[in-house]
Amino acid sequence: MSKVRILSDRVANQIAAGEVIERPAAVVKELVENALDAGATRIEVEFRHGGRSLMRIEDNGHGMSRDDALLALERHATSKISEADDLNRLASFGFRGEALPSIASVSRFTLQTREKADDSGTEILVNGGRMAHVRDCGRAVGTRIEVAQLFNSVPARRKFLKTDQTEAAHIIAGVRLYALAFPQVAFTLIEDGRVIFRSPECAGLAERVAEIFGKQLAEGLVPINASEAGIGLSGLIGRPGTGRTTRHEMITFINQRPVDSRALNYALIESYHESLPKGRYPLAFVFLEIDPAAVDVNVHPAKREVRFRSETAVRGFVIRSVLARLRELAGKPESGDRKPENAAVVQPVVLLRLASVPPAVAERRVGDKATHLSVPVPTPAKLPESPVFGFRSPVPSSYAWRWLGLAHGSYALFETASGLVLLDRRAAHERIWFERLQDQFKSGTVPSQRLLLPVPLELDPVASALLLARLEFLNGHGFEVVEFGRNFFRIEGMPTWMEPADAEPFVRELLGALRDGRLQDRAVDTAREQLARLAATKAVRLGDGVGDSEMHALVEQLFACRAPLTSPGGRPTYVELSHGEIGRRFQK
């Protein structure tokens, strides 16, 4: 008996569903793309319980006849292409013919459709890949698809879904991408019976961006339009100095298809190299128009990854186009331009202090002046006894180090009995703050301050879901963040180590780290350590003018730490040049 057998269509479809249908958002994506390919000018998306129990996509496209509707549920049946060469002339989203049969194989799938030439519509019900019925139905021209009980025929897949809130956030984010790509199409999005997004046909991209991301973000964008040798770039980009701590508002489209393209992302980041500080990413909603034969979208069933025939040429064109626009803005400032986010601005925020700052060397910038306060810190009974960087004995008192001055504003130079020590002020401060915050988090005694004028915080759906899931943790560590509407929050309190102007960027950066997987919060202790590490980098305020007493206080605090040799990020806090090494350098 042969050991090799051909799988049934039902099993093959369920296997294909593992690639095409990763989560409920993938179902919505495929069906919205089909609606757009059908020429719809109105699309309504409804879902319940994060898409687990129901997803409904209804459009006013051209619809299908009964024969076409039945054929569409067969594997590799498509109206988009007919031969291999058509892949070089793709003008549609779908072309593989896998989505509908894959979805129908892992859900209770109902399709109602009618084309203009027919007097009645067709209804097809498929349950777990098995055809239940085909019958006439009454409906308007267009198509309505309901997907209920997703993964009911493969329960193991349901276990890999996240919370309803997280899955809903991915659906909302996906629908908004297509709403951005097609501002001329009216979109309605309904979650659990509540309308959360309704946008009529918009005059252009700027209007749709303002509706989806808010007017505040839209005001920081400027239009871009460039073309060169059969390739074009259009859309909206951030003004010089306007950036974010994550890449999640750097959105790219190729021939109106939302894509994740490393080439385009790199080109945008490189273009803003001189316009944004390190670690900041540009705002961008850009559309690349290119010959379909010059780009391969058939890389993955989800069709979010693409490859260019000449990636270097595309990247160079984008960099040139964006740089030219940024330089134009820099040379001709427009009236009413917003100030860059990294500009020194004194914000009129009124604070009510509820707790005092912990004992420390406090360095705080007010306006353009830096103030420095040396607060006595009790010398610990026992300092670390392990040798460090050339010390031949337990670490001595800091006053055995004679302070010589600052080098490049960041490094403190000391003369010691053994030679010279170069102390990285920022690394030392970060180590001190890191261990102080660790102790505060562990004991639950985080000094906080309440804002009389709360800081508004508007997020995209995915970031909003992440924050809602972690509000209790965040509010237990010095913050007071409250939900104030759909995807809208207010920061009403924050730790004393933070400046009011840093509250919103810090929360955004924290959410970005969670979203990118750079910060894990599965265990409380791990989450606290990572939060302390991130917070320590933001708590440091280095001033230019420091004195002998401040520097010695810093050294005393550093060597009172449990791990004084490195910063939380692993950089050395200081290096020592011994007499012997200095002599060798001077060939003595």
pLDDT in tens, 371-425: 333 333 333 333 333 333 333 334 545 457 888 888 888 899 999 888 999 999 9
SS3 label, residue 397: coil
State residue 91's pLDDT score: 57
The pLDDT > 70 percentage for the chain reads 78
pLDDT at 70 over 50: yes
> How far apart, in whole angstroms, are the C-alpha atoms of residue 339 and residue 345?
9
Angstrom distance (rounded) from CA 363 to CA 360: 9
Residue-wise pLDDT tens digits, 297-340: 766 655 567 888 899 999 999 999 999 999 998 875 444 444 44
| DSSP-based three-state secondary structure for 177 | helix
Give the architecture-level CATH label for domain 205-331: 2-Layer Sandwich (3.30)
* Residues facing residue 424 across a β-bridge: 411
* Res 77: pLDDT: 56
* CB-CB contact of 170 with 462 (8 Å): yes
Is there a shared CATH topology between the 9-199 domain and the 352-576 domain?
Answer: no
Residue 81's pLDDT is what?
Answer: 46
- CA 254 to chain CA centroid, Å, is 20
Which CATH topology does 352-576 take?
Ribosomal Protein S8; Chain: A, domain 1 (3.30.1370)
Query: Residue 54: pLDDT above 70?
Result: yes
Percent helix, strand and coil across the chain, each rounded to 5?
35, 25, 40
The pLDDT tens digits of the residues spanning 100-142 come to 888 998 899 999 999 999 999 999 999 988 899 999 999 999 9
Which residue has 């897949």 as its token pair? 157
Contact yes or no for 170/23 (Cβ under 8 A): yes
- Of 91-105, 174-188, 229-243, 447-461, which gets the smallest average pLDDT? 91-105
Residue count of the chain, please give it. Answer: 588
Structure confidence at residue 322 (pLDDT): 96
Residues 180-205, mean pLDDT to the nearest whole number: 90
Question: Residue 408 is inside which H or E element, if any?
Answer: none
Query: Distance between CA 34 and CA 326 in Å, rounded?
Result: 37
Sign of the alpha-carbon dihedral angle for 439, 444, 445, 448: positive
Question: Where do the domains of the chain lie?
Answer: 9-199, 205-331, 352-576
pLDDT, averaged across the chain: 80
Evaluate if pTM is beyond 0.85. Answer: no
Q: Residue 86 pLDDT more than 80?
A: no
Cα–Cα distance, 147 to 48 (Å, whole number): 11
CB 522 within 8 A of CB 529: no
Beta-strand relationship, 186-191 and 42-48: parallel
CATH topology of domain 9-199: Heat Shock Protein 90 (3.30.565)
